[in-house]
Amino acid sequence: MKAFVLIFTLIMTLDAVAQQSVVVPMKAQTLIDAYPDMHLTYRDNKIVFPDGTEIVYDDGKQKNFVETLDYSDVEDMFSMEYDTTSAAPKYLNDCGRSRSEALFKKMYGSTAAEVQKNLVKIEWFGQQIPITKINGVDKHLTAVYQELKDRPELRKYLLQASSFYWRQVRGANRLSAHSYGIAFDINVANSNYWLWANKGKTETDSIKYANRIPMEIVRIFERHGFIWGGRWYHYDTMHFEYRPEFLGRK
């Protein structure tokens, strides 16, 4: 009888474990795996931090393209795919421009002062660039620098970089990734930005793509967890941002 109870209990426990792993949505698991330092878990449609803070995973609202950028929940962040294979981004594929503001504020700081507390300076071709130390972003960017520093032929694309500034995206209801200390812009003079070449166009108009940044630079950043703004339909080719959830990192 005892053995029976034991086996029965064991089966029920295994079943509960299996149930639990089944109910964590794949996108939530991808997020959890991408930010191991955060020790995130998933429970009842929430991403949960160790201090008990809960971030809504899926708010259940249908959103158009602009709303997906302005009012992104965690699930919306994964509504587009980070495409490293196409020569030019597909229409309205802006994977990474959607950010759950609640999630990013919790990870990196909810005010300029809070974010600043976590900034450290890293060496970048004679510049001292402030970047967040949360999630090891400073270490990942230093690793990028180590790969680029002995490549004089690439230098003109990399000098005069900029990183942290707390601001709303112009004309939009959301914070720029630069507000969190996770974004990094390389040289403006050798970059292309969608609005420069497509003046007066709105977010859903068809636009023309342009890029001058060598893909070698892009691939180095991507290897260390940074997505590239040149893969966005609304391209911003100077822009890199620490988003390991789209790069298959663990």
> For 204, what's the count of Cα atoms within 13 Å in the CB-facing half-sphere?
6
Q: What is the DSSP letter of 169?
A: P
Size of the site for Zn ion (CB under 5 A): 3
Residue whose Cβ sits closest to Zn ion? 239
Tokens of 158: 């990399």
| Span near Zn ion by CB under 5 A; candidates 92-100, 141-149, 150-158, 235-243 | 235-243
Site map 171..210 versus Zn ion, x via CB under 5 A: ------------x-x-------------------------
Number of residues assigned to the chain:
250
Instruction: Quote the CA–CA distance of 26 and 35 in Å, as a whole number.
Output: 15
Among residues 239, 242, 245, 246, which is the contact residue for Zn ion, using CB under 5 A?
A: 239
**Residue 75 is a binding residue for Zn ion (CB under 5 A):** no
The amino acid present at 114, given as its one-letter code, is: E
> For 53, what's the count of Cα atoms within 13 Å in the CB-facing half-sphere?
12
Site map 129..168 versus Zn ion, x via CB under 5 A: ----------------------------------------
Spatial neighbors of 200 by CB under 8 A, at least 6 apart, are: none
**Residue 224 is a binding residue for Zn ion (CB under 5 A):** no
Spatial neighbors of 179 by CB under 8 A, at least 6 apart, are: 112, 115, 164, 165, 166, 167
* Cβ 236 to Zn ion shortest distance, Å: 6
Tokens of 63: 């959103």
| Span near Zn ion by CB under 5 A; candidates 45-53, 92-100, 131-139, 236-244 | 236-244
* Cβ 160 to Zn ion shortest distance, Å: 13
Contacts with Zn ion, residue ranges (CB under 5 A): 183, 185, 239
